[in-house]
A and B are shown apart, each in its own frame.
Chain A
């Protein structure tokens, strides 16, 4: 049997949240390079428009939807806009996230609520809205960006780690519910990356963190992209309900 790689996303419509963040930018470039039509979402209109201009040389259709995921109407708004702009959604990448670190004994209730509002409720709202067109189409791939912190949380990560653990549970449940409808749901769990949110928590303990990673270094956003492309592609047609660790061996 000869496997013919089908990494390309040519003609696929990919909706990506958190498109202007460190990992979001790398994911958008990866999908654009693979030929996907992109629907990029983020909160800041100016930053999103500028990033879309940066991607223009890739030569693929790029649409933008400015939306705050904590808006209860965000899920329906993004899916409605995507369907109006492109007619379908082949892949949904739930990448947007936030954090609020602090010891549990000191953490404010509003901090954990805000983190869950974006990471769990925001992602859930969009997932909920996107499943209808995917189920009707009998096809679709959802990739949730979790974190190694869901499996191996560190001191101060109660809000963030609990939100990612909740997301992973949603991935597994949704995968079971939609597997018979041609919709696959998976997650990636990056470890410490050399940019984005991780950069904020590393100022205090960068050396300690790196020492705990078997590969002895931080990851790069570009190293997360291939796994997400794989999970969005027909190459992973028999893969659903899984969380893929991309962490240099940290959770091994």
Chain B
């Protein structure tokens, strides 16, 4: 699965989610921020992730974004009491490099990471999970 293919599906799903609250007319593109531009709610995000998981037959468990941002960095260096360290914040900003830097506050709680996602970041998340999926044996 290439990223553009995932991106197109994700964009369609976001439009579907927006239509539930009469927001069909919103512009949705790769660099659109879910929470800042589209006023996504936590439920909108969960709804989107449910649909993405079903469509692509992948699992995106809680903490997936956190794990991708942390990478190989030890958890104690990445965050303290669920608040990202400076190094942790830098890793998150590198992962979400299409999100304007000024949107990242000084103090970032681990539970708030999805709030900084663009539509493109969700598509990349899908690609990462597809790549991590074990290939079929048959």
Q: Chain A: residues with CB nearer than 8 A to chain B?
A: 132, 135-136, 177-178, 180-181
Contacts and interface: CB of A to CB of B under 8 A. Distances in A.
A135 B43 CA distance: 10
The majority secondary structure among interface residues of chain B is helix
Interface of B: 20-21, 43, 46-47, 50-51, 54
Nearest to B16: A138
Contact of A180 (B43, B50, B51): B43
A181 B51 contact: no
A177 B50 CA distance: 15
Contact of B20 (A132, A136, A177, A180): A180
B54 A181 contact: no
A136 B43 CA distance: 12
B56 to A, nearest CB: 14
A132 B43 contact: no
15 contacts: A132-B50, A135-B46, A135-B47, A135-B50, A136-B50, A136-B51, A136-B54, A177-B43, A178-B43, A180-B20, A180-B21, A180-B43, A181-B20, A181-B43, A181-B47
Nearest to A138: B20
Nearest to A181: B47
Nearest to A178: B43
A181 B50 CA distance: 12
Contacts of A136: 50-51, 54
Contacts of B54: 136
Contacts of A181: 20, 43, 47
Contacts of B51: 136
Contacts of B47: 135, 181
Contacts of A177: 43
Nearest 8 pairs of A and B residues by beta carbon: A180-B20, A136-B50, A177-B43, A132-B50, A135-B50, A135-B47, A136-B54, A180-B21
A180 B21 CA distance: 7
B91 to A, nearest CB: 31
A240 to B, nearest CB: 14
A130 to B, nearest CB: 13
A10 to B, nearest CB: 27
A71 B54 CA distance: 26
A134 to B, nearest CB: 10
Contacts of B46: 135
Nearest to A182: B20
B78 to A, nearest CB: 28
A175 to B, nearest CB: 12
Given A135-B47, A180-B20, 6 more contacts: A132-B50, A136-B51, A180-B43, A181-B20, A181-B43, A181-B47
Contacts of A135: 46-47, 50
Nearest to B54: A136
A73 to B, nearest CB: 16
A200 B51 CA distance: 46
A132 B20 CA distance: 17
Contacts of A178: 43
Contacts of B50: 132, 135-136
Contacts of B20: 180-181
A180 B54 CA distance: 20
B75 to A, nearest CB: 25
Contacts of A180: 20-21, 43
A82 to B, nearest CB: 17
B26 to A, nearest CB: 16
A178 B20 CA distance: 12
A20 to B, nearest CB: 33
Contacts of B21: 180
